[in-house]
Amino acid sequence: MLPKKKTAGLKPDTIRIRMYRVGFGDCFLLSIPNGNGHKHVVIDCGVHGSGNIKTIGLAVENIRTETGSKIAAIIATHSHQDHISGFSEAWEMMDVEQVWLPWSEDPMDELALKWSKKQAKLAEDLMRHFVAQAALNSADASTPDRKKAVNAVFNLVGSEDALGLLGAAAASNAGKLASNAKAMKRLKEGLKDAEVKYLEAGKVMPNALGIAGLEVQVLGPPREERFLKDMDPPQAEEFVKLAVLGKGIESVNKIHPFPPHWIVDEKVKGFIAPIDAKKRTDLKKVLLDTSLNALAFALDSFKNNTSLVTLFVFRGQYLL
């Protein structure tokens, strides 16, 4: 919803949750009683480039009106485009006390750095493959699943560095990637004067944000490295890159989507193809493309699993 005027009659003892309609994305304003007024928490502000209904600017304008430009905390749950791309320059004109981010975004955390570099490399290699296929006019580059996979990676990358490697093939997505990267940079720098906190599962904050009686319990993400490894693609599941200028396939790493005992030679007598032979043109190619699309979705899901999850407990109410 996008009311033009400030809501009148918000009672001192009323908790209000406002959800803004931005398209494929999220933007919430949580208003919590504090004395004779309210303190305000913004949870995410973003929209995916492929589902943008052009209302996010109105949402930010309404938040400024409703809060008088005073924000107790911004919670950016994770760095997907549809959750943070709306944190534009306008937020630097607001009085924001704190910014909360998941520990996995902490630039001083060794495990976070290790994880982020690995994921960024996988995502960029994956996009190189997709862009090369598109340049070669491969039929696989225009399938519904591939389009979804490409959108998933664009939602994930959020790096201005990706603009160069994607080149002309990504011209229509350049603005999306750049805005995402700039938004995360602003948040990590604390916008104007905000305190930045990187939070992990298990932390409990009594009287959070200076609000008497408000307890915030952080439920995720956890820090255990085994959790991150569980979400990693198998080590054998790596990449081949396609040369863009019609030079065919450049072998960099082979991809093995199945364990060795499932791999058989089609020439062996008694071989039974796992895909109907009438529909199968090239078994290895089908396996490769299916696995890479799946890898795009796996990387996308991994980022979701590093989300900052908070439980607000206030006056007998539980807000997850």
Q: Answer positive or negative: Cα dihedral of 193, 306, 116, 25.
A: negative
Residue 272 has a pLDDT of: 44
- What mean pLDDT is reported for the chain? 77
Give the model's pLDDT for residue 133: 75
DSSP secondary structure code for residue 11 in this structure: -
Q: How far is Cα 208 from Cα 194, in angstroms, rounded to an integer?
A: 15
| Rounded distance between C-alpha atoms, residue 184 and residue 176, angstroms | 13
Confidence of residue 235 (pLDDT cuts 50, 70, 90): very low
Q: How crowded is the C-beta side of 231, counted as CA atoms within 13 Å?
A: 21
Is 70 exceeded by the pLDDT of residue 233?
no
* Arithmetic mean of pLDDT, 257-283: 47
Question: Where is mean pLDDT largest: 86-100, 168-182, 244-258, 285-299?
Answer: 86-100
pLDDT at position 56 over 60: yes
Q: What is the pLDDT of residue 227?
A: 66
pLDDT at residue 247, rounded to an integer = 46
Band (pLDDT 50/70/90 cuts) for residue 169 is: very low
What is the distance between the alpha carbons of residues 296 and 130, in angstroms, rounded to a whole number? 10
pLDDT (0 to 100) of residue 21: 96
Q: Which residues contact 252 (CB under 8 A, 6 or more apart)?
A: 238, 239, 240, 241
Question: What is the average pLDDT across 274-297?
Answer: 53
How many whole angstroms separate alpha carbon 310 and alpha carbon 320?
6
Residue 291 main-chain phi, psi, to 5 deg: -65, -40
- Average pLDDT in the 290-317 region? 85
